[in-house]
């Protein structure tokens, strides 16, 4: 009966040993792949940079849009 638990324990430890290695690799990969992707996109899509800058603008716009309705609604209320 003691042999059974011992046999069931090794597989999990092996699995755990594999996980750290997997976790170590991904962090290194994304920046590289992102750079390569951007280079490829820039080569084939000349509007890519424009779109990127538009995204940045759109991200800042919502905050401005939220403020403007408030300013408009205040005069209407009074």
pTM of the model: 0.25
For residue 77, give the nearest of 66, 64, 69, 65 by alpha carbon.
69
User: 29 near 22, Cβ under 8 Å?
Assistant: no
| Helix, strand, coil percent content, the chain, rounded in steps of 5 | 90, 0, 10
Digit-coded pLDDT (tens) for 49-77: 777 777 777 766 655 555 555 555 555 55
d(CA 9, CA 15): 10
């Amino acid at each position: 009966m003691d042999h059974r638990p011992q046999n069931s324990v090794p597989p999990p430890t092996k699995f755990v040993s594999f996980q750290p290695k997997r976790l170590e690799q991904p962090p290194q990969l994304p920046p590289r792949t992102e750079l390569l992707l951007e280079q490829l996109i820039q080569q084939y899509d000349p509007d890519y940079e424009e779109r990127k800058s538009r995204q940045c603008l759109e991200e800042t716009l919502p905050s401005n849009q939220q403020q403007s309705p408030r300013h408009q609604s205040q005069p209407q209320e009074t």
